[in-house]
Amino acid sequence: MSELKALLFDVDGTLANTERDGHRVAFNRAFKDAGLHWHWSVEEYGWLLQVTGGKERMRFFIERRNPPVPAGVDVDRLIIDLHAAKTIHYTQLLGEGLIPLRPGVEQLLREAHESGMRIAIATTTTPENVTALLGNTLGAGSVDWFEVIGAGDVVPHKKPAGDIYTWVMEKMQLAPEECLAFEDSRNGVLAVHDAGINAMIITTNDYTRDHDFNGATTVIDKLCSDGQGAITLLSGYDPQTNCIDLAAARRVHAAAQGLAGKLTA
């Protein structure tokens, strides 16, 4: 059985509930600034989340919803410009302290950093969004806790393809069986498995609680108990804790390796 050597984290929806109150709001502000009569409601954005990547999401919206686009506008250029404006609005929201980390995230990251456990980011959001979130929640210098930040367009195919996880593991010179991934969505599950990683903790959120998480090692509603209640195990291996710390992470990883061994025996 392989030793756990690294924790790999998705960002949006996993580290923080950034989608509904962060990215969606920032997109709407960017649309308004550009004079576009587009607005993504909470429900509409939930539908759009089937597509990963902000630029890809806008293109999907244009193709499927056929919103009004000014005559003569280059759609490719429009998407690029809107995404750049949206990123500015998103970082402003973070700077205002409007997007906190999810329960248990800071505790686990700090413990991992202080103990020497290797940690990395594997996300489809832009590097600027990642650094802004970390800096505004964990403080200046926290970006350096992460050995590798795999983000944005560094790989050709975004989740549910496993490219970003494969890229991160190659940079860290790690094998899939040495990693534990943290995700929040079905696309995340698919990406992790596509990269050959068996060990995975899912923390659901308002947008993903009804997703199909078949194949995930552990599915829970949050990493740590908070003022709204204890951790709820939704499916998979029970880490038998009220807060996912490194000891619990190692138990989940070991359980996944055991299951993988049975499947390949």
The reported pTM is 0.89
Q: How far is CA 129 from CA 17, 99, 214, 238, in A?
A: 13, 12, 29, 32
Q: What is the pLDDT at residue 264?
A: 41
Split the chain (265 residues) into runs of 10 and give each run's mean pLDDT. 94 94 96 97 95 95 96 96 96 91 96 98 92 94 97 93 98 98 97 98 95 97 86 95 96 88 46
Q: Annotated catalytic sites, by residue?
A: 10, 12
Q: Is the peptide bond before 160 cis (omega within 30 degrees of 0)?
A: yes
101-117 burial: b if 16+ Cβ within 10 Å, else e: bbbbbbebbeebbeeeb
- Assigned CATH class of 6-17+101-264: alpha beta
Strand 233-236 and strand 218-220: the pairing is: antiparallel
Structural domain spans, the chain: 6-17+101-264, 19-95
Q: Does the 19-95 domain belong in CATH 1.10.150.240? A: yes
